[in-house]
């Protein structure tokens, strides 16, 4: 029993070392979202195409909400993935055109292709603040009840899609299947 | 000769200190001077004061390690505008802090709120200090007690010591 005492410093050293070691691999740029399991904030804006849009226009199935801008270079990197998802049509992609200009956004979609069912125009970033956005690109996973379930900050490429979104979506679909 | 020497020495000290002075001056000016280019109008100096205090205390979520005042980031610009709007609409500091917390979480505060999730952050260091203090106190107490104990050798031990040392002497 008294021998055990001598191991306390060693054990606490390794415990602390483990915690700090893990900390080395955390990405300080990836902040947890405050909106997980919260409903989409209310909005009444226009789309990039110019029509009015509000919460009830959102898809009534699981969808992606992708925050983008014509100035955003990483958005070009994830663009092929969004295009593929949109072509496959399994999950709708809604855009939030964040802190951009409408004419530039229209041009960007014409030049690069439009993966979005529609893009909510958030020129002054006010809707972005309600979402807790701090920079494009960000992608939210929203369920069929309009509740935000997952957020990914920065580029959504194929490996992020496979590793983070596919399991998250499978879990959500399993849940709603179980409820039926 | 002597006075020239002294003058030389004080000159070189000044020279050595100059960068430090410059650094201090820059630091003194830092919070307001770096980045904020937008201008806001307020109804009263108190409102302006509150705006300054709040945007100094919120951390920019994009350019981390900068407050909202010092950041040129897009989201910082938007958040400053929101703070201005909320102040002129008559919201209290607590309400504005709540607004920020609901959207950006504890990260937005340079001084995180006291909550279950932040309790370790607030009390961890003093608790560890206390534990360390108790351990140190225990060790020094035991050492003192050991020092007070009778350390004289009895005859048998004395003889053995002499025997051990004898071969070396």
Q: What tokens does B81 get?
A: 């505008």
Tell me if A6 is assigned to some domain.
Answer: no
Give me the domain span that covers residue A111. 35-179
Interface of A with B (CB under 8 A): 28-29, 31-35, 99, 124-126, 128-135
For the residues A74-78, what does the mean pLDDT come to? 96
Q: What tokens does B45 get?
A: 């100096």
Tell me if A124 is assigned to some domain.
Answer: yes
CA proximity to B56, closest of B83, B88, B94: B83
List CB contacts (< 8 A) between B61 and chain A.
31, 134
- Phi–psi pair at A152, nearest 5 degrees: -120, 130
Q: What are B37-94's pLDDT values in tens digits?
A: 568 889 899 999 999 999 999 999 988 789 999 998 899 999 999 999 999 999 999 9
Could you tell me which residues come within 8 angstroms of residue A23 by beta carbon, excluding any fewer than 6 positions away? none
- Give, in degrees to the nearest 5, the angle at Cα A20 between A15 and A25: 130
Q: What are B117-160's pLDDT values in tens digits?
A: 889 889 999 999 999 999 999 999 998 887 777 677 888 888 88
Beta bridge partners of A96: A67, A120
CA distance B64 to chain A (A): 8
List CB contacts (< 8 A) between B78 and chain A.
99, 124-126, 128-129
Tell me if A78 is assigned to some domain.
Answer: yes
* Ranges of H-type helices in B34-169: 45-57, 74-88, 93-104, 119-148, 155-166
Q: State the ipTM, two decimals.
A: 0.86
Tell me if A19 is assigned to some domain.
Answer: no
Tell me if A149 is assigned to some domain.
Answer: yes
The pLDDT of residue A49 is above 60: yes
User: Whole-prediction pTM value?
Assistant: 0.75
CA distance B32 to chain A (A): 22
Across A47-56, B5-14, B153-162, least confident range = B5-14
Tell me if A121 is assigned to some domain.
Answer: yes
The pLDDT of residue A41 is above 60: yes
Q: What percentage of chain A exceeds 90 in pLDDT?
A: 82
What CATH number is attached to the domain comprising A170? 3.40.30.10
Tell me if A10 is assigned to some domain.
Answer: no
Which residue from B minimizes the CA distance to A128?
Answer: B75
Torsion of CA B121, B124, B125, B126, to 10 degrees: 120
In total, how many domains does chain A have? 1
* A58 — pLDDT class (breaks 50, 70, 90): very high
Tell me if A84 is assigned to some domain.
Answer: yes
Beta bridge partners of A147: A39
Distance in Å from the first CA to the final CA of chain A: 56
Burial-class residue B66 by CB neighbours within 10 Å (0-12, 13-18, 19+).
middle
Mean per-residue pLDDT of chain A: 92
Q: In angstroms, rounded to a whole number, what is the distance separating the alpha carbons of residues B52 and B30?
A: 13
């Amino acid at each position: 029993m008294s021998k055990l005492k001598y191991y306390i410093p060693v054990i606490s050293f390794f415990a602390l070392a483990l915690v700090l070691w893990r900390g080395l691999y955390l990405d300080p740029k990836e902040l947890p979202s405050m909106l997980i399991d919260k409903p989409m904030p209310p909005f009444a804006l226009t789309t990039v195409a110019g029509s009015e849009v509000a919460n009830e226009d959102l898809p009534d199935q699981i969808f992606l909400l992708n925050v983008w801008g014509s100035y955003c270079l990483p958005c070009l990197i994830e663009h092929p993935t969004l295009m593929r998802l949109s072509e496959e049509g399994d999950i709708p992609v809604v855009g939030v055109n964040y802190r951009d200009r409408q004419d530039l956004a229209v041009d960007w979609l014409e030049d690069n292709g439009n993966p979005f069912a529609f893009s909510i125009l958030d020129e002054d970033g006010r809707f972005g603040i309600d979402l807790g956005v701090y920079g494009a690109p960000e992608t939210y996973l929203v369920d069929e009840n309009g509740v935000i379930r997952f957020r990914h900050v920065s580029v959504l490429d194929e490996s992020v899609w496979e590793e983070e979104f596919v399991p998250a979506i499978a879990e959500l679909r399993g849940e709603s299947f179980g409820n039926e | 000769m002597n006075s020239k020497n002294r003058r030389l020495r004080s000159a070189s000290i000044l020279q050595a200190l100059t960068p430090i002075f410059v650094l201090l001056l820059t630091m003194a000016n830092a919070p307001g001077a770096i980045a904020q280019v937008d201008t806001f109008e307020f109804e009263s100096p108190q409102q302006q004061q509150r705006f300054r205090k709040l945007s100094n205390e919120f951390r920019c979520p994009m350019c981390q390690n900068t407050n909202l005042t010092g950041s040129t980031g897009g989201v910082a610009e938007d958040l400053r505008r929101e703070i201005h709007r909320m102040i002129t609409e008559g919201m209290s500091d607590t309400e504005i802090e709540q607004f920020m917390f609901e959207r950006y979480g504890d990260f937005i505060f340079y001084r995180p709120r006291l909550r279950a999730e932040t309790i370790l952050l607030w009390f961890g260091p003093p608790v560890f200090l206390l534990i360390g203090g108790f351990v140190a106190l225990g060790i020094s107490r035991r050492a003192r007690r050991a020092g007070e104990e009778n350390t004289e050798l009895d005859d048998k031990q004395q003889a053995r010591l002499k025997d051990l040392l004898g071969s070396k002497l």
